[in-house]
Amino acid sequence: MYDYLIVGAGLFGAVFAHEATAAGKRCLVIDKRDHIAGNIYTEDVEGIAVHRYGAHIFHTNNKEVWDYVNRFAEFNRYTNSPVANYKGELYNMPFNMNTFNKMWGVITPAEAQAKIEEQRAAHYTENPQNLEEQAINLVGTDIYEKLVKGYTEKQWGRPCTALPAFIIKRLPVRFTFDNNYFNALYQGIPNEGYTALVANLLDGIEVRLNTDYLADRAALDALAKKVVYTGPIDAYFDYKLGALQYRSVRFETETLDMPNYQGNAVVNYTDSETPYTRIIEHKHFVFGSTEPGTKTVISREYSAEWKPGDEPYYPVNDEENGALYARYKELADAHSHVLFGGRLGEYKYYDMDRVIEVALARVRAELA
């Protein structure tokens, strides 16, 4: 009945389905969740687009991808400029002249550079053995103590002295007054939320929600000539080589009776005492802080250890998991009727722009 059964209504599946349909192929998209859009899903709470699976900021240097997404959604001019809260002291991120002025009262780039150099030289370790020594070598003690240490320890769940040095290769410092977090030519958030963007990609395409491919594989396979699978690759093979590991995040979302909680979309808590790593205030992705409205929605983010059954968020980028994925990839390559794609199908951290790039390349190769 169908040319393609597309497992997963996330960004990869939706781009693939859109392009294949435009080329005259019949597609059926299924998802085990009760909504489309995968992890970029946004839902309306009190008129605010809430990012249920974590804050998503679209940014890219690829003009083709930027033009592509703008066909399906109108983007605002949101620029990510997080603020760090260290025990009530607020600093601009990424580390730039605003940060250095607040920290040391320095006025010029030369003064800021001298201050960092002085601290690096005083505490330099020849062969850094752990993340703490490495970070101090890179940015000196003050930035490390106030802006790196607590946040990193919460993210990894262990002290910086027990983390390997290689995790931090560089810590970007800017000697300009530029709070724009991303070095990207194009950046923004869809005005109507990401779910509307994905709905537009899937316009006119049959979608079945609450449908778990792995629970009914034979019957679903029989519906289509080929399968595009964007779920976890190890689950596809019944974990027969073992389970791939992930890092997880827990979100605690709350609606508050106030128009404006923190004045910014993203505030990082960089001390070690505050248990969460960030607070996201969703309305600021779209409105800016001056928009009226009596309520606001915030999400506190907690780093969490992942165990099988939890929502998989970030693939673990280490040797053990890389080797296991390579073995699953061999099995996948032998399945020529199934195309594995997306962050779970390829066990890879992908930003949204990369997912679109890869999905477009894969569907074009497929249809050529």
Ligand X SMILES: Cc1cc2nc3c(=O)[nH]c(=O)nc-3n(C[C@H](O)[C@H](O)[C@H](O)COP(=O)(O)OP(=O)(O)OC[C@H]3O[C@@H](n4cnc5c(N)ncnc54)[C@H](O)[C@@H]3O)c2cc1C
Annotation says 208 is catalytic: no
Task: Tell me: does residue 351 bind ligand X (CB under 6 A).
Answer: yes
Q: Is 132 a catalytic residue?
A: no
Least distance in angstroms from the C-beta of 229 to ligand X:
8
The interface mask with ligand X, positions 308-337, x = CB under 6 A, is -----xx-----------------------
Q: Which is nearer to ligand X, 33 or 300 (CB)?
A: 33
CB neighbourhood size of 151 (10 A): 21
CA 263 to chain centre: 22
**Residue 52 is among the residues annotated as catalytic for this protein:** no
Residue of 271, 301, 346, 357 marked active site: 301
Packing angle of the helix pair 109-122, 131-139 (nearest 10 deg): 140
120 is catalytic: no
The distance of closest approach from Cβ of residue 342 to ligand X in the complex, given in angstroms and rounded to an integer, is: 3
- The span from the CA of 318 to the CA of 276, in Å, is 25
Task: Give me the 184-223 binding string for ligand X, x by CB under 6 A, dash otherwise.
Answer: ----------------------------xxx---------
Residue (327 or 348) nearer to ligand X, CB: 348
In terms of Cβ atoms closer than 10 Å to its own Cβ (0-12, 13-18, 19+), residue 361 is exposed
Q: Considering 34, 77, 170, 257, which one is annotated as catalytic? A: 170
Backbone phi, psi, residue 289, to 5°: -80, -5
Contact assessment for residue 199 and residue 210, using Cβ atoms and an 8 Å cutoff: no
351 included as an active-site residue = yes
Query: Does 249 contact ligand X by CB under 6 A?
Result: yes
* Annotated catalytic residue 300: no
**Of 144 and 246, CB closest to ligand X:** 246
Q: Would residue 170 show up in a list of annotated catalytic residues for this protein?
A: yes
82 binds ligand X (CB under 6 A): no
**Cis omega (within 30 of 0) for bond into 94:** yes
* 65: Cα separation from own chain's centroid: 17
Identity of the residue numbered 241:
L
Considering the complex, state which of residue 103 and residue 359 has its C-beta at the smaller distance from ligand X.
359
| Helix spans in the chain (H) | 11-22, 63-70, 97-104, 109-122, 131-139, 141-143, 149-156, 194-201, 217-221, 233-236, 319-333, 342-345, 352-367
Q: How far is the CB of 212 from ligand X (least distance, A)?
A: 5
Q: In the complex with ligand X, which residue's Cβ is closer, 202 or 355?
A: 355
Strands 48-51 and 224-229: unpaired
Check binding of 241 to ligand X (CB under 6 A).
no
Does position 30 interact with ligand X (CB under 6 A)? The reply is yes
User: What is the token pair recorded at 305?
Assistant: 């250890």
Cβ 109 to ligand X, closest distance in Å? 29
Query: Looking at 17, 27, 31, 50, which residue binds ligand X (CB under 6 A)?
Result: 31
Backbone angles phi, psi at 265, to 5 degrees: -70, -40
**Positions 43 through 72 that interact with ligand X (CB under 6 A):** 54-58
* Amino acid identity for residue 77 in this structure: R
Q: Which of 29, 193, 350, 357 binds ligand X (CB under 6 A)?
A: 350
CB within 8 Å of 46: residues ≥ 6 apart: 255, 293, 295, 296, 297
Q: Should residue 140 be labelled a site residue for ligand X when binding is judged by CB under 6 A? A: no
Q: Does 230 interact with ligand X (rule: CB under 6 A)? A: yes
Torsion of CA 262, 155, 163, 343, to 10 degrees: -130
Closest approach, Cβ 116 to ligand X, in A, equals: 28
| Dihedral (CA of 43, 315, 247, 94) sign | negative
Tell me: does residue 265 bind ligand X (CB under 6 A).
no
- Rg for the chain (alpha carbons), in Å? 22
Catalytic positions, written as ranges: 170, 174, 247, 278, 301, 349, 351
Q: Which residues bind ligand X (CB under 6 A)?
A: 7-13, 30-33, 38-40, 54-58, 212-214, 230-231, 249, 313-314, 342-344, 350-353, 355
